[in-house]
């Protein structure tokens, strides 16, 4: 299923991933202050992981309170036999169905979230957003503000009453 907008949006199955990174508890209102230092810490420490130059980076949002707070993670994929730098935690991202939105550049991120959570969600009848699973942004290696990135929002089948 594809929706025609300024964004390339489709439903995909995403495989399970083992990630290592840092997390911080935050809220929607505090995220702009809390997340930037976490990215800086992540990029200074990710260099300690093998093959870091070829790895994609994940910005994960994991709800801790439905309306107020969430854990924000900066992470990268690892194999099971890699030891992580001090302070890094491991997160197991389960496989699942996601709506994937290709975002052309960083300045479009907020509009992409709005498009997925409002426009796309209302345009179809098969899925609801799975608020219990992680939502994430996926950044390619060597990403810059003018490069594209992907937004993945977890889905569940709509309940039929």
Yes or no: say if 22 and 88 are a contact pair by the CB < 8 Å rule.
Answer: yes
Identify the bridge partners of residue 149 per DSSP, sorted by sequence position. Answer: 103
pLDDT band at 55 (very low <50, low <70, confident <90, very high): confident
Ramachandran assignment for 51, one of left (phi > 0), alpha (psi -120 to 50 degrees), beta (any other): left
Identify the bridge partners of residue 27 per DSSP, sorted by sequence position. Answer: 69
Q: Does the pTM exceed 0.85?
A: yes
Average pLDDT over residues 149-153: 97
Q: Please name the helix (run of DSSP H) or strand (run of DSSP E) that holds residue 14, with its range, or none.
A: strand 8-14
Structure tokens given for 51:
């093959």
For residue 93, which of 1, 8, 36, 13 has the smallest C-alpha distance? 13
Q: Hey, is 155 helix, strand or coil?
A: strand
- Per-residue model confidence as pLDDT tens digits over 14-51: 999 999 999 999 988 888 888 899 999 998 888 888 77
pLDDT score at 51:
75
Residue 2 has pLDDT above 80, yes or no: no
Residue 55, C-beta contacts closer than 8 angstroms, at least 6 positions apart? 46, 49, 76, 77, 141
Q: Strands 89-93, 127-129: parallel, antiparallel or unpaired by DSSP?
A: unpaired
- Per-residue model confidence as pLDDT tens digits over 58-104: 999 998 776 678 999 999 998 878 888 888 999 999 999 999 999 99
pLDDT score at 28:
82
- Transcribe 49-116 into DSSP letters: STTGGG--EEEEEEESSSSSEEEEEEEEE--TTPPPPTT-EEEEE--EEEEEEEESSGGGHHHHHHII
- Domain 2-157 CATH (choose: 2.30.30.170, 3.20.80.10, 3.40.50.300, 3.20.20.10): 3.20.80.10
């Amino acid at each position: 299923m594809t929706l025609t907008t300024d964004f390339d949006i489709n439903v995909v199955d995403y495989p399970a991933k083992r990630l290592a990174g840092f997390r911080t508890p935050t809220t929607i209102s505090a995220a702009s202050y809390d997340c930037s230092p976490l990215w800086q810490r992540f990029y200074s420490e990710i260099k300690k992981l093998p093959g870091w130059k070829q790895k994609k980076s994940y910005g994960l949002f994991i709800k801790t309170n439905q309306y107020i707070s969430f854990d924000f993670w900066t992470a990268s994929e690892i194999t099971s036999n890699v030891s992580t730098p001090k302070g890094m935690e491991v997160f197991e991202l389960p496989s699942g169905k996601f709506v994937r939105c290709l975002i052309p550049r960083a300045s479009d991120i907020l509009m992409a979230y709005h498009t997925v959570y409002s426009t796309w969600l209302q345009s179809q009848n098969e899925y609801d957003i799975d608020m219990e699973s992680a939502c994430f942004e996926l950044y390619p290696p060597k990403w810059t503000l003018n490069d594209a990135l992907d937004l993945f929002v977890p889905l569940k089948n709509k309940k039929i009453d």
